[in-house]
Amino acid sequence: MATKRLLQFSLSLLTRQAHARSQVGLWIDAGSRFENDSNNGVAHFLEHMIFKGTSKRSQTSLELEVENMGAHLNAYTSREQTVYYAKCFSKDLPQALDILSDIIQNSTLGEQEIERERGVILREMQEVETNLQEVIFDHLHSIAYQGTPLGRTILGPTENIKTINRNDLKEYISTHYKGPRIVLAAAGGVNHDNLVKLSEQYFGNITAGYDSEIPISAPCRFTGCDIRVRDDDMPLAHVALAVEGCGWSNADNIALMVANTLIGSWDRSHGGGANLAGRLASNSARGNLCHSFQAFNTCYTDTGMWGIYFVSEKLSIDDMIFNIQNEWMRLCNNVTDFEIQRAKNLLKTNLLLQLDGSTPICEDIGRQMLCYGRRIPLPELDARIDAVDAETIKSVCTKYLYDQCPAVAAVGPIEQLPDYNLDKKVKLTMIAFLGDFTLTPVSSSSYFDSVKPLRNDSLI
């Protein structure tokens, strides 16, 4: 069971006691979504700079101190969050907290280190560009959320990386690293009361107020359209399709998680064939439709993307998309209680397996505190999943999938990818026949209608 405390300086503290080793981290409500066109990439740049020395510790002494503890210090940046965390022995927890508080409050951000780190980030960008899955999802965000903060990449454009300076970094810290936007999470061999005292000692100087207007993330609209990067020299096509999903705290999110689990994933290299439980996996194996696919449900504060990413031969793209549409329409119209029960069991199993160890537990605590304002107990989450039935899935999926405008991103030999503008002239309708259904194309002004307004029903 996790224990929560709101400290006097508005920083939230949550702990879960379990083992002799511990993980402690800072989850900050700040990521690339809180940037603009001119400073896009500053949150990620700051993540790199935060370990380059403080007013109390040089970079060398910081690295030696962490190594002598046998600890691990790391960080990552996403579109809505920045995380700094340390893994250490429980006896070294005070020292780990001292280091974490020092790096976010007293980093020197030296000019020489900034110039050196530009090259590191540019090389990282080159590595990212070789990972086609990351490239596809960056493209998908860029078109689905075009003209909004979520459409920007986390690393930022090359020109920004070359021009971000010390003032940009300090301004980002002073604007976003405030008590109410920070969660201190810990798991493992942690005593909650002791951690409260240590937190007040090391983080008591973090301010809670703002000198000027409080920064608020702008609403991000979802736009259905496509982006295609055709390269016939590539051996395989990489394609992602997504419709607008919902935010973390939306009441529909649990049903979409179950639907996402029902679609599932499959990889030819992992074995399994026509006898797989999932229909899309079985059809993919039997018909040689793709090399792999992965359903996804990406959530943000007020919006999300629900869809599928697949890798296939160029001549199989059209057949794969047809089968995906088939499965999506089944969710809206013809899914059975037996399938839903199987998906719910698998979802609960996956959620439990993801909490194996202090590291994923700490991650879960920090993320849920930022997203929900509390950590949802497992019995409550289990009950929410159990409440989903076939009718719930049909209703929710009809709302989010049927007659909605998808975003499509594709890279590789994609000549066979159906033309988006041609598809806009066709409307897919669902007709149920004796427990099965067919997809019948009929003339329509537009299959891709306007995106409906967001719902903000609380999951809490």
Q: Of 73, 120, 118, nearest to 95 (Cα)?
A: 73
In this prediction, residue 7 carries a pLDDT of 57
Partnered with residue 26 across adjacent β-strands are 84, 184
**Tokens encoding 188:** 């493992």
**Tokens encoding 302:** 């007020």
Q: Which domains does the chain have, with CATH numbers?
A: 3-203 (3.30.830.10), 226-443 (3.30.830.10)
* Dihedral sign from CA coordinates of 174, 175, 180, 181: negative
Query: In whole angstroms, what is the distance from residue 298 CA to residue 260 CA?
Result: 10
For 112-125, the pLDDT digits (tens) are 999 999 999 999 99
Q: Are the beta carbons of 264 and 292 closer than 8 angstroms?
A: no
Q: Are the beta carbons of 238 and 412 closer than 8 angstroms?
A: yes
Query: In whole angstroms, what is the distance from residue 444 CA to residue 427 CA?
Result: 6
Which helix (H) or strand (E) covers residue 189, if one does?
A: none
Residues involved in catalysis: 47
Other CB atoms within 10 Å distance of the CB of residue 328: 25
Q: Of 140, 244, 219, nearest to 452 (Cα)?
A: 244
In this prediction, residue 21 carries a pLDDT of 87
Query: In whole angstroms, what is the distance from residue 255 CA to residue 238 CA?
Result: 27
For 202-236, the pLDDT digits (tens) are 998 888 777 666 677 778 999 999 999 999 999 99
In this prediction, residue 9 carries a pLDDT of 55
Q: Are the beta carbons of 186 and 362 closer than 8 angstroms?
A: yes
CA 21: distance to chain centroid? 27
**Tokens encoding 159:** 């020109």
In this prediction, residue 434 carries a pLDDT of 27
- Extract the residue ranges of the chain whose pLDDT is less than 50: 424-458
Partnered with residue 3 across adjacent β-strands are 15
Q: Are the beta carbons of 42 and 166 closer than 8 angstroms?
A: no
pTM of the model: 0.87
